[in-house]
Amino acid sequence: MWIDTHCHLDAAEFDPDRPEVIARAHAAGVRRLVVPAVMPSTFDAAREAALLCDGAYALGSHPLYVHQAGPDAVRQLEQALQHWRDDPRLVAVGEIGLDHFVPELQDEASRAAQEALYAGQLAVAAKAGLPVILHVRRSADHLLKHLRRLKTEGRPVPGGIAHAFSEQQAMAFVELGFKLGFGGAMTFDKALQIRRLAAQLPAECLVLETDAPDIPPQWLYRTAEERAQGARSRNEPAELPRIAETLAELRGWTLDETRAITTANALAALPRLVALGRTLRT
């Protein structure tokens, strides 16, 4: 069994053919999908998508939706976690984080709003004892600062999944109990830094994700020119085993080894998936 630890199956891109997307994932052996919400208005959709694919979901507000999420987003997360706390499919808080790349969200007020949203949600995750699925874009050091602060205050977040672009950041996340997600970006020959990390980090740190419909792997990638001509590039969970072939090559592992290692790591990062595996149909 493969686990896609991060896919936005509830996204509008999948509205035309969601059941087929799920069928292709299952046929490819991607039996467990984790669907993170992006703001309170998508909480129900993430949960429904998880039910539809016999998978799991996470609740939280994504930094790119900091303004749409509204001033009440942290309280709404707390209420939703309370409401669904006995739902075995709820496995994490996410997708939360900080985006220090997208130009529209780099003014002082937007950065402050992102940080307040992230810090508030981290505290809620720590209180609920749930791991977090992080959005990291040029923001690893700021994300780590808040994780360390909670740890120092004696209310640590129980790990989760992050991304890193240097070994130092990667190991800082690992020290805080995190696994590191690898996906389509790793399949590009030019992504030297990501490929080096995928090749060299300790095996027990690595998990796989598609972030579908985003981050299409190299074989689905469309250039700006192709996109202008209407060519689509939609990533989907069924691509995960082929993405994993890149990891297998980089590590010198067989595909079976890659599956066994990354699945075990995903279960360690999101422990509620273990119980879910026992209660589900397959």
Q: What residue ranges bind Zn ion (CB under 5 A)?
A: 95, 211
DSSP 15: T
CB closer to Zn ion, 210 vs 246: 210
DSSP letter string over 193-239? Answer: HHHHHHHHS-GGGEEE---TTSS--GGG---HHHHHTT------GGG
In whole angstroms, how close is the CB of 229 to Zn ion at the nearest point? 27
CB closer to Zn ion, 94 vs 241: 94
Q: Which residue is nearest to Zn ion (CB)?
A: 211
In whole angstroms, how close is the CB of 159 to Zn ion at the nearest point? 18
CB closer to Zn ion, 43 vs 248: 43
CB closer to Zn ion, 14 vs 248: 14
* Nearest-angstrom CA–CA distance, 33 and 276: 12
For residue 246, give the nearest of 183, 184, 163, 187 by alpha carbon: 187
Burial class (CB in 10 A: 0-12, 13-18, 19+), 117: buried
Answer left, alpha or beta for residue 211, where phi above 0 means left and psi between -120 and 50 means alpha: left
Beta bridge partners of 32: 3
In whole angstroms, how close is the CB of 254 to Zn ion at the nearest point? 29
CB closer to Zn ion, 134 vs 206: 134
In whole angstroms, how close is the CB of 97 to Zn ion at the nearest point? 9
In whole angstroms, how close is the CB of 280 to Zn ion at the nearest point? 23
* Nearest-angstrom CA–CA distance, 47 and 80: 11
